[in-house]
Amino acid sequence: MTQLRTVQVLGGGSAGSSAHVRSLAAGLVARGVRVTVCAPAELDHDYDFLGAGAHFVPVPRRSDPLSVGALRAACADADVVHAHGLNAAVRSGLALAAQHVPLVVTWHTRPHVEGARRQLLRFMERKAVRAAAVVLATSSELVDRARRRGARDARLGPVTMPPPCGLADLPGEKARAELGAVDRPLVVTAGPLEPHRGHDTLLDASRRWLGHDPVPLVAVAGEGTRRDALERRVDTERLPVRLLGHREDASALLAAADVAVLPSRWEARAPLAQEALRLGVPLVATAVGGVPELVGDAAELVPYGDAVALAAAVTRLLADPASRAALAEAGHRQAATWPTEDETIAQVLSVYDELCASRGGNGG
Q: What tens digit of pLDDT does each residue of 351-362 get?
A: 999 999 987 655
pLDDT at 168: 46
Confidence of residue 98 (pLDDT cuts 50, 70, 90): confident
The conformation of residue 340, written as its DSSP 8-state character, comes to: P
- pLDDT, average across residues 258-274: 94
| Beta pairing partners, 134 | 104
pLDDT at 314: 98
Confidence of residue 333 (pLDDT cuts 50, 70, 90): very high
Question: Is the predicted pLDDT of residue 221 greater than 80, yes or no?
Answer: yes
Question: Is the predicted pLDDT of residue 305 greater than 90, yes or no?
Answer: yes
Radius of gyration of the chain (CA): 21
pLDDT at 330: 98
Lowest mean pLDDT: which of 92-96, 174-178, 192-196?
A: 174-178
Q: In the predicted model, what is the mean pLDDT of the chain?
A: 92
pLDDT at 239: 98
How far apart are alpha carbons 267 and 288 in whole angstroms? 7
Question: Is the predicted pLDDT of residue 107 greater than 60, yes or no?
Answer: yes
Half-sphere exposure of 146 (CA within 13 A, CB side): 33
pLDDT at 290: 93
pLDDT at 171: 61
pTM > 0.85: yes
Degrees to nearest 5, angle at CA 290 with 287 and 292: 45
CB-based contacts of 300: which residues, under 8 Å, 6+ apart? 282, 283, 284, 285, 313, 316, 317, 327
- pLDDT, average across residues 240-269: 93
- Of 117, 119, 118, 137, the closest CA to residue 129 belongs to 137
- pLDDT, average across residues 324-346: 95
Backbone angles phi, psi at 357, to 5 degrees: -65, -35
Question: Is the predicted pLDDT of residue 237 greater than 90, yes or no?
Answer: yes
The conformation of residue 249, written as its DSSP 8-state character, comes to: T
How far apart are alpha carbons 127 and 107 in whole angstroms? 13
Question: Is the predicted pLDDT of residue 15 greater than 80, yes or no?
Answer: no
CB-based contacts of 332: which residues, under 8 Å, 6+ apart? 277, 278, 280
Other Cβ atoms less than 10 A from the Cβ of 328: the count is 17
pLDDT at 165: 57
pLDDT at 337: 95
> What's the order of all strands across the beta sheet hosting 217-221?
241-245, 217-221, 186-190, 259-262, 283-286, 300-302
pLDDT at 50: 95
- pLDDT, average across residues 69-79: 95
- pLDDT, average across residues 235-246: 97
pLDDT in tens, 122-180: 999 999 999 999 999 999 999 999 999 999 999 999 887 776 655 545 567 788 998 99
How far apart are alpha carbons 157 and 155 in whole angstroms? 6
Give the relative orientation of helices 199-207 and 307-318 as an angle to the nearest 10 degrees: 60
- pLDDT, average across residues 307-322: 98
How far apart are alpha carbons 95 and 91 in whole angstroms? 6
